[in-house]
């Protein structure tokens, strides 16, 4: 792990130094963040991917996005300063993603070809010189536990269909109407190409005895009666003809990943202990550092993981947990959260008896938000469910039919609940939110944004940011 961390740091540093040497060349520096250069190509990769997407809700100018990108880099630098990139969970997730991007460069075509040839050889051996066949059939199901009457009925139906076919009935139509094999019935009874050992012996023996266009008499197997029509027969194609199809199937089964791991392991084994899987992949990344798409994709994930971790610990979690700060922020910004109409805050109750309804209303009036479920369960619904409680709600008129009827006194007819015929609400009407809890999601979001703004200001003071306007003017214009 230490080797990987060191390599990645060196690789990024090498990239940065290379960019720094091109201040007047093909890839000028557009900004530096704490002395670390950001090249135009790196900035364009991010800007074209995230900042100026056609149809986006809010497209950003280059200058606007440059400030956002600098803030992004500041957060990553702070996360690295706090050594978040050394945490075990971070390293494991990052390396898993990084390896997913690198293993395609280690795909071993010789390995894939060898597996494909092996599969072809085994299939050829299984055929043992026989042809491949493509039959169609009509299945009349018959249970192995069927009594004599049921056996006679199934046999009679199979014979009747067979006679109809001999008289000129269309096989595909008869299969779609009468066959109990749903997979083939909808295709007129047609089955895929098969070889020896692929199906029931009784079916196989009868099918292989047919030539294209011929029809079998009803054949009994352990699942019932089959009437078989031979559609086509052919010899197995050569490996060269089938190779694309075999390889396509193998790729669907992740053969490329398996071949890459096989090749990596061969290199590790041949090194006599000098190399590990990670050092091999380190060398793959080093060998493809001239591929900007790969380099920036890996860097983007590296930085994105750190951004998530640092934002979570510095802003998101502390903001959400700071109930005192949330309340103070709400009180200082109350006009921002004003309602245009009153809201009801409380519960909807449906009870089996008037007494249960009365007791529930009393309990919910006195219960703390986190206690009410247990209190209702222990004091009213201990032996059986006497009251159903939903909520707590914080809604305006028109959002809940029961609250409209009992809190806002709307004259609405409600469909009776025969199991819980007594309905009411308990709570209070509010003209405006009284605490941050009455506008919780909005306040939490705004408070988080405010804390993030202050945090970014502190990072700007801690780590210098320098923009190069002339270089930024050339973004996507060279």
Q: Tell me if the bond preceding 157 is cis, omega within 30° of 0.
A: no
Tens of pLDDT, residues 330-341: 999 999 999 999
Q: Which pLDDT band holds residue 412 (cuts at 50, 70, 90)?
A: confident
Q: What is the mean pLDDT of residues 303-318?
A: 97
Domain boundary among 175, 204, 234: 234
Percent of the chain exceeding pLDDT 90 equals: 81
136 vs 191: CA distance, rounded Å: 5
Domain boundary among 431, 450, 471: 431
Task: Note whether 218 and 272 are same-domain residues.
Answer: no
Task: Note whether 36 and 92 are same-domain residues.
Answer: yes
Nearest to 403 by CA among 337, 340, 342: 342
Q: Which pLDDT band holds residue 421 (cuts at 50, 70, 90)?
A: very high
Task: Note whether 261 and 228 are same-domain residues.
Answer: no
Task: List 387's β-bridge partners, or say none.
Answer: 351
In a domain, 245, yes or no: no
Task: Note whether 160 and 225 are same-domain residues.
Answer: yes
Q: Which pLDDT band holds residue 437 (cuts at 50, 70, 90)?
A: very high
Q: What is the pLDDT of residue 377?
A: 87
In a domain, 436, yes or no: no
| Token representation of residue 430 | 């509010």
Q: What is the pLDDT of residue 14?
A: 37
Q: What is the pLDDT of residue 375?
A: 84
Q: What is the pLDDT of residue 114?
A: 95
Task: Note whether 188 and 225 are same-domain residues.
Answer: yes
Task: Note whether 356 and 426 are same-domain residues.
Answer: yes
Task: Using the Cα atoms of residue 100, residue 105, residue 110 and residue 113 in order, give the sign of their dihedral.
Answer: positive
Question: What is the rounded average pLDDT for all residues in the chain?
Answer: 90
Of 175 and 412, the structure prediction assigns the larger pLDDT to: 175
Nearest to 50 by CA among 294, 291, 297, 309: 297
Percent of the chain exceeding pLDDT 70 equals: 92
Q: Which pLDDT band holds residue 370 (cuts at 50, 70, 90)?
A: low
Lowest mean pLDDT across 148-152, 331-335, 410-414: 410-414
Q: What's the domain range around 352? A: 339-431
Tens of pLDDT, residues 267-296: 999 998 899 999 999 999 999 888 988 999
Q: What is the pLDDT of residue 324?
A: 97
- Flag whether pLDDT at 32 surpasses 70: yes
Q: Which pLDDT band holds residue 217 (cuts at 50, 70, 90)?
A: very high
Q: What is the pLDDT of residue 290?
A: 86
pTM above 0.85, yes or no: no
Q: What is the pLDDT of residue 53?
A: 54
Interior/surface letters 154-188, b for 16+ CB within 10 angstroms, e for the rest: bbebbeebbeebeeeeebbebbbebbebeebbeeb
> What are the C-alpha distances in Å from 72 to residues 79, 85, 300, 421?
11, 16, 11, 58
- Flag whether pLDDT at 367 surpasses 90: no
Task: Note whether 230 and 260 are same-domain residues.
Answer: no
Q: What is the mean pLDDT of residues 345-371?
A: 86
- Flag whether pLDDT at 219 surpasses 90: yes
In a domain, 386, yes or no: yes
Q: What is the pLDDT of residue 5?
A: 38
Of 318 and 365, the structure prediction assigns the larger pLDDT to: 318
Tens of pLDDT, residues 442-453: 999 999 999 999
Strands 343-351 and 387-396, by their bridges, are antiparallel
- Flag whether pLDDT at 15 surpasses 50: no
In a domain, 228, yes or no: yes
In a domain, 314, yes or no: no
> What are the C-alpha distances in Å from 265 to residues 4, 32, 271, 317, 354?
17, 40, 10, 42, 74
Q: Which pLDDT band holds residue 371 (cuts at 50, 70, 90)?
A: confident
Q: What is the mean pLDDT of residues 432-440?
A: 95
Domain of 177, CATH number, reads 3.10.50.40
In a domain, 378, yes or no: yes
- Flag whether pLDDT at 145 surpasses 90: yes
Structural domain total, the chain: 3
Q: Which pLDDT band holds residue 251 (cuts at 50, 70, 90)?
A: very high
Burial of 440 (0-12, 13-18, 19+ CB in 10 A): middle
* Phi and psi angles of residue 33, each rounded to the nearest 5 degrees, phi first: -125, 110
Task: Note whether 83 and 38 are same-domain residues.
Answer: yes
Q: What is the pLDDT of residue 362?
A: 87
Task: Note whether 228 and 262 are same-domain residues.
Answer: no
Task: Note whether 224 and 265 are same-domain residues.
Answer: no
Q: What is the pLDDT of residue 368?
A: 63
Task: Note whether 289 and 205 are same-domain residues.
Answer: no
376 vs 401: CA distance, rounded Å: 23
Task: Note whether 296 and 348 are same-domain residues.
Answer: no
């Amino acid at each position: 792990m230490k080797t990987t961390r060191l390599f990645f740091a060196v690789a990024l540093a090498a990239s940065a130094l290379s960019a720094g040497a091109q201040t007047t060349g093909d890839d000028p520096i557009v900004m530096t963040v704490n002395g670390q250069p950001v090249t135009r190509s790196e900035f364009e990769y991010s800007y074209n991917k995230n900042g100026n997407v056609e149809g986006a809700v809010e497209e950003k100018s280059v200058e606007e996005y440059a400030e956002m990108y600098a803030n992004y880099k500041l957060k990553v630098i702070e996360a690295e300063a706090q050594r978040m990139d050394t945490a075990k969970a971070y390293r494991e997730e990052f390396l898993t993603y990084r390896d997913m991007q690198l293993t395609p460069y280690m795909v071993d075509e010789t390995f894939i070809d060898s597996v494909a040839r092996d599969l072809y050889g085994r299939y050829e051996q299984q055929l043992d010189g026989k042809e491949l066949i493509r039959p169609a059939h009509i299945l009349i199901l018959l249970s192995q536990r069927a009594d004599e009457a049921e056996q006679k009925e199934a046999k009679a139906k199979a014979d009747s269909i067979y006679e109809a076919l001999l008289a000129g009935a269309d096989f595909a139509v008869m299969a779609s109407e009468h066959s109990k094999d749903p997979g083939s019935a909808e295709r007129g009874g047609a089955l895929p190409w098969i070889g020896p050992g692929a199906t029931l012996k009784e079916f196989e023996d009868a099918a292989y005895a047919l030539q294209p266009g011929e029809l079998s008499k009803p054949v009994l197997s352990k699942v019932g009666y089959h009437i078989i029509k031979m559609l086509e027969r052919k010899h197995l194609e050569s490996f060269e003809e089938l190779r694309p199809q075999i390889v396509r199937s193998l790729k669907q089964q992740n053969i490329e990943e398996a071949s890459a791991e096989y090749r990596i392991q061969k290199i590790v084994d041949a090194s006599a202990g000098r190399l590990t899987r990670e050092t091999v992949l380190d060398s793959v990344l080093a060998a493809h550092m001239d591929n900007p798409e790969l380099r920036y994709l890996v860097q983007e994930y590296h930085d994105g993981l750190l951004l998530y971790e640092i934002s979570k610990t510095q802003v998101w979690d502390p903001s959400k947990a700071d109930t005192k700060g949330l309340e103070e922020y709400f009180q200082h910004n109350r006009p921002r959260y004003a309602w245009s109409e009153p809201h009801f805050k409380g519960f909807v109750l449906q009870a089996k008896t008037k007494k249960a309804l009365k007791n529930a209303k009393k309990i919910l009036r006195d219960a703390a938000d986190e206690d009410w479920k247990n209190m209702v369960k222990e004091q009213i619904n201990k032996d059986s469910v006497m009251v159903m409680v939903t909520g707590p709600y914080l809604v305006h008129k028109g959002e809940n039919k029961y609250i409209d009827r009992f809190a806002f006194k709307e004259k609405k007819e409600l469909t009776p609940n025969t199991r819980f015929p007594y309905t009411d609400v308990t709570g209070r009407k509010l003209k405006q939110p009284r605490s941050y809890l009455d506008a919780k999601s909005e306040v939490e979001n705004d408070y988080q944004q405010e804390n993030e703004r202050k945090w970014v200001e502190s990072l700007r003071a801690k780590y210098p940011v320098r923009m190069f306007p002339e270089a930024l003017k050339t973004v996507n214009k060279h």
